[in-house]
A and B are shown apart, each in its own frame.
Chain A
Amino acid sequence: MRSRGVVLISAFAIGIVVAILLFSSMASAQTAAAERGEAVYDHWCAPCHAAGPGHPGTQSLEVKYRGELQAVLTERDDLTSEFVRTMVREGILMMAPFRKTEVTDAELDDIAAYLTE
């Protein structure tokens, strides 16, 4: 018969394993969302926001930020999901909002995951 201490240690170990698996699963889900988000981003956002000439979103942000922030969105490390959602659904200046038939809520979550990973 095992002692009470052994039982507790076993339960603790199981808890750690479950937590690791859970975390791993969440991280994996996050990665999968970001991968899906990259494809959506490439289709809908990159034509304006990619690096290099011919991308008016990037050009506009270069003038706005004057080097204080990255103009290319995929190079930013300060974007939040909420900010991404607001920009896509409300638009700004020349950028009209995107409807749910263009970018669904689920796809928008994926874009946010991609830009904030």
Chain B
Amino acid sequence: MALPPNVSERDFTRALEQFSNIVGSEWVFSSDEDVALYRDAYSIYWGEPEERVASGAVAPDTVEQVQAVVRAANEFRIPLYPISTGRNLAYGGSAPAYSGSVVLDLKRMNRVLEVNERNAYALVEPGVSYFDLYNHIEERNLNVWIDPPDPGWGSVIGNALDGGGGWTAYPYRDHFGAHCGMEVVLGDGDIVRTGMGALPNGSTWQENKWGYGPWVDGLFRQGNMGVVTKMGFWLMPKPEAYISGTAQVPDDEGAVGLMDTLNHLENLGIVNGSTQLGGGGAGGAGFGGGGWSLQVPIYGPENVIRAQLDYCRQKFEAIEGCTFTEQPLVHIPLSAEDRARVRLVNFGIPNLSTFAMLGRSPFQPNPAGGHIGFSPIVPRRGEDLVRFRNWYQANAAEVSGGENLGIIGPVFMTNWERSLVGLIMFPISKDPEHNSKIRDAFVRWVELAAAEGWAEYRAPTIYQDLIASTYNYNDNALTRMREKIKDAVDPNGIISAGRYGVWPRHLRDA
């Protein structure tokens, strides 16, 4: 039996007994076989001493059980690592950020507590996946959409808390941004409800994000101040139709107008769908050649979105050398024919098709198995787009040591509002030698990007300290402030030690 750091076998045994009394012995896992199920299948340190592994797991079913487990963990100083569905593959999966933690597995808390069609919101527990919420809505024929990320088995809460996003309209595809109100068990077992949820007998918990006084929800995004046990989300009413057009410019000079026009159209709310950028010689959804291509989707009533697309055409065609082509309008709900040809996540339908990029294919008969990504935020300007691409191409060979490590980049993503993401993807396998080279390359890309003023918005657990160290303005003032808050609300440092670079006092001093 593995032990949490600095915890005696006697105390760990007593803690596990208490956990069993709280949740039932069948929901406490401490055998090697059971704990192995919590390993990160995409770990870049798979099978090596540095791999982050759990010492056990406990799976409560209610918020009261979560409180009791947290209090018991405080008594024995057991580090806990909450997971929602544990399917955050490429970002650590169900393995802890701090080795030896007991995973607080919230998958059993999988209740859709409310879907309010009239005011278009949902209130869910952490174990609810996008599949679960979708099925709940469709079984009741409710007139709302969810916004799924690529893998539909992810947790609605977990994805939002980790900073994930989806593929339908803004603001819904920024999952944390679309949340409204949360319930949190703090590190000492106390329970809070944020925003309007703090108002006894109120009924606007999911209708006003801010409530009264300092807003604290952000502390729980990529945070470790508590265990989120309920969370509300705003939902989009099912739109009547979807239309898109594609603007293409012939060269890098055209990219400047392309991005400025996109920003203008999005900031006006004319374009609300998740745009797709390709070309420019980048490694992403390439259109070949030196030109750039941008697909702009719009959701809404047919006559309205046709007019919006006409306005887009006018604006894009004003760019020298830009052509604009329109794709056929898609009515919603989807016909069987449309369903077979569209990308389902753009239509609020969760699925797992994204894993095809990791599986075998005629072009990839022996895939590595896993991947991680480095996704620095880049200014949304054509000049910066070109600069990032040139920077990547200039450094790629040196970073990979002259080898073909299977690294893919840059894939430019425009689905966040106001900024770009320049994604670099790294294949992960179970081969330590391969993974070692990938580690060297990953760290080098992070260093090179930081020197240019670009940094990651989200990271696998193993690199959360590294990325946090790049956000070091004024002698790491932001990290120091977070540490002060951490020490105040979780004085024994029980919850998710080290998550996103925030460590409790006793581990900072160590």
Which residues does A use to contact B, with CB under 8 Å? 43, 47-48, 53-57, 59-61, 63-64, 89, 91, 93-102
Contacts and interface: CB of A to CB of B under 8 A. Distances in A.
Contact of A101 (B59, B356, B359, B370): B59
B32 to A, nearest CB: 13
6 contacts: A47-B351, A57-B355, A60-B367, A89-B37, A93-B367, A96-B42
A48 B37 contact: no
Contacts of B306: none
Interface in B359-416: 359-362, 365, 367, 369-370
Contacts of A98: 37
B37 A100 contact: yes
B256 interface: no
Interface string B92-127: 011000000000010110000000000000000000
A93 B360 CA distance: 9
B94 A64 contact: no
B242 interface: no
B82 interface: no
B131 A57 contact: no
Interface in B152-166: 152-153
B75 interface: no
A96 to B, nearest CB: 4
Contact of B89 (A56, A61, A96): A96
Contact of B365 (A43, A63, A96): A63
A56 B355 CA distance: 6
A29 B427 CA distance: 44
B44 interface: no
Of B107, B355, B361, B369, the most chain A CB neighbours within 10 A belong to B355
B355 A94 contact: yes
Given A47-B153, A55-B353, A63-B365, A99 B359 contact: no
Given A48-B355, A61-B360, 16 more contacts: A47-B131, A47-B152, A47-B153, A57-B359, A60-B356, A63-B359, A89-B37, A93-B359, A93-B360, A94-B358, A97-B41, A99-B94, A99-B105, A100-B29, A101-B86, A102-B86
Nearest to A61: B360
Nearest to A89: B37
Interface residues of B, number: 40
A56 B352 contact: yes
Contact of B362 (A57, A63, A99): A63
Interface string B119-158: 0000000000001000000000000000000001100000
Contacts of B359: 56-57, 59-60, 63, 93-94
Given A56-B359, A59-B361, A97 B152 contact: no
A48 B352 contact: yes
Contacts of B369: 93-94
Contacts of A59: 356, 359-361
Interface in B173-218: none
Nearest to A58: B359
Nearest to B27: A101
A94 B341 CA distance: 25
Contact of B34 (A43, A93, A100): A100
A48 B107 CA distance: 20
Contacts of B105: 99, 101
B77 interface: no
A56 B353 contact: yes
A93 B29 contact: no
A53 B351 CA distance: 12
B362 A94 contact: no
A31 B85 CA distance: 30
A60 B354 CA distance: 12
B29 A96 contact: no
A63 B361 contact: yes
Interface string B339-358: 01000100000011111101
A100 B93 CA distance: 15
B52 interface: no
Interface string B18-29: 000000000101
Nearest to B105: A101
A97 B369 CA distance: 13
Contacts of B344: 54
B107 A99 contact: yes
A59 B344 CA distance: 18
Of A43, A60, A94, the most chain B CB neighbours within 10 A belong to A94
B459 to A, nearest CB: 19
A55 B41 CA distance: 20
Of A57, A63, A101, the most chain B CB neighbours within 10 A belong to A101
A101 to B, nearest CB: 4
Contacts of B37: 89, 97-100
A102 B367 CA distance: 26
Contacts of B86: 99, 101-102
